[in-house]
Structures are given as structure tokens and as C-alpha cells.
Structure 1
């Protein structure tokens, strides 16, 4: 086996896995295969730790999901790539995820369907080249048959580049990908209506009045970047990170470590966004069927964007490609889908000594690993930011276009949406993401020494320990079982969650070394718990869940969420109420955005940001970024009153980030307010 056991499958390995499955199917007389996924079967965690500790060689394995043309029944196969043969193959419980080919087929076939052509004629549409179709997996009802169905939202584009989301039509076809036909048409109105006419454009060819007062802002690294890349391993400053990619999660982080003196200390074993749901507010058909699981229903990896230099990332860029499979089992390379670059991130730390006016200031730089994915109308940018102080930030940037629909009767002032244009409604909805965080806080043995706790900051009650009424302190509660670890954000208590290694103590405090999960305040699922959406998307009902590690527990919305009215994922696992201490706990952090659409979100939505932080708490002896050198950026210029620019100076100090004391002892009381220091204080 070449490379590392966590390296994504190569083109040749994907083809070899497909051929092994085809050979197995032929022997079993199963028929032609339709591949939904061929991906790396990651080694079991215990085996991976043994391998990293100079243990035995690991068999290279692939995992494939396939069905038969016309059927949505998935089969799972484990393939030994060293032996080029299927090890196990079995029927899965559920319906297979949709493929890009499924999605492309929907538009082509719907535009040829005679029933659709007739209904469009009723509304004055005769040119099928103007018709655009957004296929969405359907949120089912109990009455629906257990076959894969798609709801098709139709829009009209009057010319190439026209924004179709300004022109929805008043009906929604239901399409069967297996039978490749329309099985039902859900009408919003009983008869013909006039389609929306008002345009709302974002394409550069149709936005004529663009700004003219923007000067270039270049990110220049004349000596190249500070990071180094070897295969899929990134080294930057004191960080070491292994990058992975798969069809479902897209970007995955493995084996995140920090060099602290002579020791390379583990922080994260594996991190990804493992599921997301987008439930819509609805009180009428057909919009009660809008609740998509973009990761489980389709996959973020297969929808990844090829990024463009100078547009999506700035500076000195390193790109990683990704490889996915076709339905026939061939390999397809997605170029430039993961972007690696550095960014200035403002001030990292600063202090001015008031007695001497000596200033020390350090700018923060962060390493950014990101990818973008387009799922029909929405874009999601997934960013993992690494900082010089040992902090990690996950940011998800939501943009793209809101999903619009023609107004239902009586919806001139919609209660559950926003009017974007006349007769064009954007329904209220949520985007809730589930991060899977398999932490490794200073742990080299597989998480057995880790524990998770909740930390609230509370005022002490009045009494001898709080005689003046000012006292407050953090109160820590350790989770011992899964039932205790279903928790929500609470800003009033400054609530965080801590991952501690009870076998490693800080040399000064004597407390276990730890990292804290610092959430952004985020609303949980608003669908009622007893509703079909509340059951299926039950993982979104809490901001935090903790489970003992299990290699098979990967998908919080279930392995196959397509049209699954139940959830055999996270909410089913925690019913066992398993103990957590000593069981290698895994954190599931659910967060996101509740989107009450604004007129300003149309025609394209400015970025909304959701995310969280992982920050060290007693992990380092002191500030790990105290060793950053004092530097001055030589390309910075000072804007003058006459509008010209000059090289910035530091009033005689060449550094500019480390000020010398003011001659003669400085101003009275040590404060920098006299004319002698005017222009110096604050210039760093």
C-alpha cells in the first residue's frame, strides 16, 4: 500500500473498486450496477492508532453504494483493494442518495413531458428552452410509496443569464427518477395566472451600474507562503493537519496537531460537517415537503465548486483536487476544490505600557482551508481557520439565491415568508449543520482519557462567600452518560463545553489540559418535536450531543435519510444512554442560521456566517503566540490630506510594532497624551 491509510481513493482505486463490484454482481447474477458512491473505507480508529505507532500494515479498502437501474434500493459493498475483490455485500435499509446524473435527468425529462408542456401553455409558456427545473428530494408523508421521489420547482428564464428565481411558476411536479416520469402535478392555483414579469439580475452582463471607486487591494507574498504541503499533510507555523475529501462530507480534517516545544501534541482526530438540514416553514401543500438533507440526500463533495484563482481565494494559493465516481464506476477528477491560503486576521495581541509608552503588538495570521459547494440555489462555503495561538475556527458562509415560489392564494402579505417581488415569495427556513468532532486533546491512545463537561459562569449566592454581591465563577458539570449530554446554547450563562484529558495536568493550575467548544448562539430546530420534520431532523433539536466513539456512527441524520420519516442516526443511538467516561467521546455540535429572508437577499444573498470555535484552556503553559517576531509590513502606506499616499513611518522607529520608551520619562503620569508623543501612541 502506497501513501497513508487516510489518503482519499485515487482514480485507479475507484475504477478497481467498481470492477470488483461488477465482477461480484456478475457472479451473483445481480445485473447491471448503478454506483451512487465509491469512497475510502477509513480504517477503524483502533487500527489506525496502532498503525501510527509502527503497528501492522493496513489493508486498503473501499466502500461502495450501488443500486440497479430503475431501483432506489441501495446495496453496500466493502472492497479489498489489495486483493481486488468484494469482501462483503448486503442490502441496505433505506433509499439510495441521489446522484448528479439523477438531478440532470430530471430537468431534461420534465421539459419533454406532455403534461408539463400543456400546463405551461396555460400560463403562456411555449418555449421549453426558457424552462429551468430545480429538483429537490422530497420530505415524505406516511401515504407516499417507498420509492425515491423528487419535487421539481420550475422557473422561467427569458434569455441566457436571466435570473430564473424571479419567475417561479404556480405548480410543482412530482417526479419518479426510477420510472423517469412525472407522477403528479401539485397546483398552487386552480386556473391560469399571469407569471411574474419583473426582472432581478445578478449576472455581470446585466448589472450595468457597477461601482467605479474601488482601487485594487492586493494580497502579496513576495517570498511565497509560510505553509508546506507533502501529499495531503499541511505544515504551517506549528500546526500539522491532514486533509481528506469524500463525496458526502466534502472536506474532512484528520490528525490535527500542534508543535509545542519538542512535542507534537494531538488536538483533533477527525472533524467534518457530517449532516445538514434545511427545513421550511409551511402550513399548506406542497411546501410542507421542503426539508432537504443536503449531505445525506445528495452529498456536498459531489457538488463541490472548482475554485478560480484570484476570485474565491486571494494570495498564494495551494489547491487540492478531489475525485468522485460516475454512475458507471469511472473516476472523475474535480480540480481545485479545496483551497489552502493564509490571511491577515487583525491584531493577535497588543499592550502599551502606560508608564513608559512602550508598545508591543503582533498581528494575527491564520491558515484557511476551505471549499465551496453549490446545492441547486444555495452556496455553502466551508472554512476551517487555524490561528497562531492554537485556536481553530469553523465558519460556514451561506450565500447564493433563496428558493422562491409563486404566491399561494391570499399570500399578498405572507405570514410564513417574505415578498421578494410581486407574486414571488421566499419562505422562512433554517439551515442547521451538524459538526462531528472526534477530539484528541493531548491524547495518543484513542481518546480513553477524555471527558466532556459543560461550563456555565454563575453569580455566587449572597452570603459569606459573596459578601459584596460581586462574585461569580465557572461551574463545571461533567457528562457521564448520553442522556446528560443533550444540551443547548445559553448566552446568559456564557455556556461553553470543555473536552479535557484527565490524565494530563497543567503544570501551574494542576487541572486537566483541555480545549473548549465555544459556540455562536444558534437557534435549534423550530419544527415541533412530534412533527414528521421534528422526528426526521431530530439531531437539530439540540446544539450539543455527546456519544461514545463508534466507527459505524458517522451520519447524525441516518445512513440513508432520503424519504425516511424516521431517524436511525443520532437520536436513535442516544436512546441506549451509554456511559461516556473512558469511552472516547465524540461531540456533535449543531448550529446554523434561521433565515427570515430580506429584500436585500435578492437576487443574490450577501454572505451569512455560522460557526464555532475550539480554543485551548490550560492546554499550553502560557500564550503560545508570545514567540511571534515583531514585524512591520513594508508595503503599508499612509493616506495624506492631499489624497496621495506615502510610505508609513514609525516616527523614527524602524519596527513600528515595538515602540521605544519616550525620552525624558514620557508625559505626566505615563499617559500618551502630550504633543511630544502625538502620532506615536496607537501607531503599531
Structure 2
């Protein structure tokens, strides 16, 4: 029987109802997942030699793009008519493992009438590993805790078996092990009481676990540093991984390092801290209810309309995003989502270089999502959407409140004051729609906020929180690749690099991408062309084929990219209608070498922007920038964005996909401990000659009657109000 992790709501085991969906992109329900896996189990039991299966993924196969747009009545060209609807077949894709042989399979299951039937079953190439499941991560901890060698090493530093806790991580890259093995590395910590912050007690060795056999197959002990006349010196001669047959304790050439014992708790009842008592209540109140409407997974709000779905890998998938521009329904994005991220760490000594988790491709944002709590994770009047993913036994793990939808005040939308005597002022406040999710990836938390604004802007805000990934240090040990956030607790330097997939359909499917640089005029002051020396202008370059589609960010030219439709121009600017991608605050270079382990596996990190032609097959579009199957890869996958960019396909005025790379380099601070206050990263999509004028001009103003002076004696005396009270009125 499957067990739901603390992030989920519960388990759905047996299909009870017939499949019902109202939109072709609706995610699989718990009922559907159970029915799909039942059909596979029946086929495997009667028509194959496979004796036992372990399900890893089960999700909707996206129907062809043009079929979905025809179903929804969205035209493919500016001002055109929608194509005639065609039948859409609902399909599911499933990855599972033969438990005894260790082989991986992918199945396609089709809904025929009311019954799910197997369409195809394919054995994956040896070494191809599907996504790591939450159950495997939990099992990893139990395996290491029960291993006699782990127990003996733990006791040597004062930790009993029941105090051993482990975060299972994908192995990253380690050629000492066969590709066929499905392995994890177990980052160890001690926990000395029930809810003690285990990350305050990192341990000094790292077991490697075979997830198929549930056995510890190796143990690594990292070397450490000592100071040699003020220069950090490693206890071994090389950062290279030692042979498996070497004794790991002897090979590390340092004594054992016990975990720090001091508590570093974050739960209020465990902290020896007086909580603040001077915070007054702040409530979000909408006395007339919310301004958005929901029809299943379809949302409408302030001219926006979109489909919102849970996805086991992307987390939130936003699709068929349109804007009602004074009666004209204008398509903007077909799909917008976070499709990959990698967290490479900077310590070069073994085995720390294995720490570069692909949190989407190796684990899945959706399966790591939290069941959100009303009044804590989201404030105000909230609508939640559920999500479901498959458990090992084929049942569905259900997260009841996985996607949060609500409205927020967003400050001023626009304002102007005529400063002349007797002049008038007008202010309009901004409202934004929030679609959000919170994911827990072992120690880290990620908060995904998609914001939609009344002026046509879209923003993806990524907030990072949770607990730093830490390793133990000796007393007075130098830490050249990390920060001591507490005594003997070393938080390694690292990066968070994200890939945002944008499938545009700006006024139709055929779009182009234009690179815009702001450049100073080359002529010197005193010249005829630039007499005062102040001149600057813009230079625009249309990207024409995939070999031109891999682009670097340039801070010096304030580079931005615009997705445009060459078939439609703005009536005044004469520019192609478009949306600009603004990522200046999130542009980050990958610090690892291009031919490093990280560079080979996470090629998307090498460029700030990738533009490729969208090529659909029977399993959907080009989706995953580091390949479909990420765990255990050792080279650049053929189905990755770096390989796609080597092609010669046209990307001008065509059906294209854009991958935006953003991130942050994290040099930890003591103030990030024991739990990190949220850090912010933003990507903006801004209309650029798309609308006739400011689309927020029709947003009404209004003076909030509940806004009052903070203090009774706070008003100034002895002056006459002439204009101020008119700031929120139109007359």
C-alpha cells in the first residue's frame, strides 16, 4: 500500500467513476490514474514475462496544438477564422520499472469510450532512467538506516541508528557505477529529538544506494581542508573520485568528524526565542467576492483567459492564454511553464561535485508540491485546484490544495498629477491575479508565483526559501567553497538555474524572435551626427534559424528579446505586435566549465535564451531542455535544447518555442540560517506594440473607504486642502 508524503493529502486507490473532462488539457484525475495503471497491470500480467512493476510517472499526453486551438475556437492567424474542430483522443503516458530485472518501460494508454486500453509498450534503452519518485526518496533513508556499515560509521561519531536521517539525491554524475544501476546518494544528518532540525547535525560520510535492490553499494568520505600558512590545503592530493575498491576512511586522509550537537531549530515551540508581540492583524477582505471566474480548470479575469493544470514535472502548466482586447480575443501564449532547473554546487573535492540536482527533471516539481493551508500559504479569498500523481503500486497520490488562485492589491497601476495651480490628479490602483504553488525539494522550498496584471503584463516570480544544504566542518577548518553559517556547519556555494519554456502564439502560431540592443552612437562629441555626445538608439536583429537561436545576455546593451508576429503591425509605431522578455535581474552565467559534468548534462545553462522550431510528434512538442529522461545521464541528450539548437530549422515567422534561462548565484550568509528568508527572482513578459495604448486605461479608480489614518493625531493642522482629495476621482 502506497504511503503519502507529508506534502500530499492522501491516496486514491481504485477508480470509482467514469472519466469526465471538460477541456482537452485537463490533467489526469486520481480516478484516471488508477484506471490507467490497472490497464497496464492487466496487460503485463497476461501478455508479458514481467512479474512485478513499480510505477514512476503517469500523466496526460498533450493533444496536437492545432487540434486544441480548433476545439477552443482560437484562430491560427491574425483576424483569421478558427480551423474546423477534429476529434481529440485522450491519452496517458506511463513510465514504470520491472522490479526484478530493473528495466524501464514507457507505455501509451488510450481512452476508448469509457475504457483505458494499452496502445503501445516500449522498453527503454539500457541506462535510461525515469524520474525518481518520492517513495524512492523515503526508502533511501530506511535503507541507509538499516545498513550495518552505515550504523557502524555513525556510532563512531556518536550517532545511533534511529538517529540517522538521509536526504536521497540523484547521483548526479559518477562513472564508477554502471549506467544500468538506478542509484541515489544519501546525504546524512542526525536527529536527536522528534522534530529537531536535522540539518543542524550534518554527518561526514555519504552512502550510495541502489534504488532497485534497496541496498547500500558504496560509502564515500569526503576529504577536508586544513590551513597551510593561511592557504586552504586539501587532505588528499586530488579532487578526483577514488576507485571503489579503496577504503573510504583511509582514503579521505583525515580523522572522523562528529556532527555538531547544538540545536538550531525553526519550529516556534522548540526555539528558545521570545516571539514578537507587536504585530497587529492585517486582513485581506473582498466583501463582494472575487473578480475571477472558474469553469473547471479554465480561469477568466480582467480580460485574461487561460487553462491552469497540475503537472507532475512542471508543477503549474498555464495554457491557451488569451486576452480580450475590446472584443477581439487575442492569443498570447499556448503554454507557459517552468520545465527544468539545476542546482550545481561549487565545492570541487569528491564527492561534492555530484551535487547538482535537476529538481524538475529528476524529481518533478508537481510531485514535490505542498498541500497548501488557507490563511498561511495564501491570504484572502482563495480558490484551490487539486493535483494527482502515481504511486509505485498504481494508486494515485492526491494533493487537494496544490494550486492557489487569488487576487492581490499591486500598488498603483498608473497616476498623474497636473502640478499647476488648480490642476487635477488621478490615481488608479493595480490588481493582480496570482497562480501559485509551493514545492519542497528535501531541504529547499520553491514558491512559484505567476502574476497577471490589468495592463497586459505577465510575471513569473520565483521565491527561494527553506534550509541550506550543509556539510560538517572540523573546528577551525577553512571553508574556501562555503560559508560557516553556524559553528562547524558549512553551507556550500551554489547556483539555482531555471529554464522557463514559452510556447508563443501572439495573434497566431507563426511568430519570430527579435533581439534588441540599446547602443550609443559611435560618433564623438562635436561631430555632426552626435554633437552633444548624448545619442543612443536601438539595434534589432531577427533570429532566422536554430543555429542563430542560442543567445547570450548583454548587460552593456540592456539586451532584450521580443516575440513578435510579422503578420500584424501596430497602427502608430509600425512595429510588429509583440511581447518583450525582460530578465535583466535574473540573467546569470553558469560558473561551471562548459565541458564540465554539469555543462554536459545541463546544456540549457550555457545560454540566456534558446529559440527552436516546435516539432510535434505523437507524444507532443519539444518540452524538456535537458532531455526527457534526466536521472543518470552522462552526456548531452539528443532530445535536449542544446542539440536542437544545432539544427537548421527555420525560426522566423514559424511555430517556435523559446527557453528562457534565469537564475541566481547563492553565496550563503549566516542570516540564511536556520531557515532562509525568501529570495526573489523575476521574469517579465511585457506587451510591446501589442496593444493600441495602455490597456489599463479602462480600469476604474476608487477611494478605499476602509483606508484611515494610522494615528488619530497624525494629520497636519493649519493648512487648506486644495487638490489632494481628488486623486482617486474622475471628476
TM-score (norm 2): 0.86
Call closer, same or farther: CA 1:72–1:504 in 2, change over 3 Å: farther
Please, what is the CA RMSD of the aligned residues? 2.0
2:641 is the counterpart of 1:582:
no
> What's the secondary structure of 1:626's corresponding residue?
coil
> What's the secondary structure of 1:217's corresponding residue?
coil
- Find the partner of 2:431 among 337, 347, 365: 365
Alpha-carbon offset, residue 642 of structure 1 = 4.6
Consecutive unaligned residues in structure 1, runs of 5 or more: 661-684
2:184 is the counterpart of 1:145:
no
Structure 1 partner of 2:214? 180
Deviation per CA, 1:528-557: give whole Å up to 9, x if none: 011111111111111100000123421101
Structure 2 partner of 1:477? 541
2:512 is the counterpart of 1:451:
yes
> What's the secondary structure of 2:52's corresponding residue?
coil
- Find the partner of 1:91 among 123, 144, 153: 123
> What's the secondary structure of 1:493's corresponding residue?
coil
| 8 Å CA contact 1:433, 1:591 repeated in 2 | yes
Structure 1 partner of 2:630? 561
State how far apart, in whole Å, the 1-side matches of 2:687 and 2:444 are: 34
| 8 Å CA contact 1:500, 1:512 repeated in 2 | yes
2:722 is the counterpart of 1:657:
no
State how far apart, in whole Å, the 2-side matches of 1:344 and 1:236 are: 14
Call closer, same or farther: CA 1:72–1:562 in 2, change over 3 Å: farther
| 8 Å CA contact 1:70, 1:177 repeated in 2 | no
Structure 1 partner of 2:363? 298
Alpha-carbon offset, residue 614 of structure 1 = 0.3
- Find the partner of 2:554 among 486, 490, 510: 490
State how far apart, in whole Å, the 1-side matches of 2:147 and 2:471 are: 21
2:168 is the counterpart of 1:135:
yes
| 8 Å CA contact 1:650, 1:656 repeated in 2 | no
- Find the partner of 1:596 among 650, 661, 667: 667
Structure 1 partner of 2:79? none
State how far apart, in whole Å, the 2-side matches of 1:503 and 1:465 are: 34
> What's the secondary structure of 1:49's corresponding residue?
helix
State how far apart, in whole Å, the 2-side matches of 1:613 and 1:563 are: 33
| 8 Å CA contact 2:425, 2:723 repeated in 1 | no
> What's the secondary structure of 2:32's corresponding residue?
helix
> What's the secondary structure of 2:645's corresponding residue?
helix
Structure 1 partner of 2:384? 319
Alpha-carbon offset, residue 32 of structure 1 = 2.1
Matches within 5 A, 1:11-410: 11-26=30-45, 27-53=47-73, 54-70=84-100, 72-82=102-112, 84-93=116-125, 94-126=128-160, 128-146=161-179, 147-188=181-222, 190-207=254-271, 208-355=273-420, 356-407=422-473
Alpha-carbon offset, residue 423 of structure 1 = 1.8
| 8 Å CA contact 2:424, 2:727 repeated in 1 | no
State how far apart, in whole Å, the 1-side matches of 2:542 and 2:124 are: 37
State how far apart, in whole Å, the 2-side matches of 1:49 and 1:553 are: 18
Deviation per CA, 1:332-369: give whole Å up to 9, x if none: 22110100011111111110012233101111110000
> What's the secondary structure of 2:599's corresponding residue?
helix
| 8 Å CA contact 1:240, 1:256 repeated in 2 | yes
- Find the partner of 2:594 among 529, 550, 554: 529
- Find the partner of 2:679 among 608, 616, 626: 608
State how far apart, in whole Å, the 1-side matches of 2:312 and 2:102 are: 18
User: Larger deviation: 506-515 or 226-235?
Assistant: 506-515
Call closer, same or farther: CA 1:658–1:246 in 2, change over 3 Å: same
Deviation per CA, 1:451-485: give whole Å up to 9, x if none: 00111111122254433322211211000012212
2:511 is the counterpart of 1:421:
no
Alpha-carbon offset, residue 596 of structure 1 = 0.5
State how far apart, in whole Å, the 2-side matches of 1:339 and 1:533 are: 34
Call closer, same or farther: CA 1:650–1:58 in 2, change over 3 Å: farther
Deviation per CA, 1:179-209: give whole Å up to 9, x if none: 1111111123644333212222211112331
State how far apart, in whole Å, the 2-side matches of 1:298 and 1:5 are: 26
Deviation per CA, 1:285-304: give whole Å up to 9, x if none: 11111011111111111111
Alpha-carbon offset, residue 641 of structure 1 = 6.2
| 8 Å CA contact 1:539, 1:570 repeated in 2 | yes
State how far apart, in whole Å, the 1-side matches of 2:477 and 2:713 are: 53
Aligned residues: 651
Structure 1 partner of 2:498? 433
| 8 Å CA contact 1:323, 1:334 repeated in 2 | yes
Structure 2 partner of 1:667? none
State how far apart, in whole Å, the 1-side matches of 2:569 and 2:257 are: 71
State how far apart, in whole Å, the 2-side matches of 1:71 and 1:651 are: 83
2:566 is the counterpart of 1:502:
yes
State how far apart, in whole Å, the 2-side matches of 1:553 and 1:411 are: 50
Call closer, same or farther: CA 1:16–1:391 in 2, change over 3 Å: same
- Find the partner of 1:622 among 693, 709, 720: 693
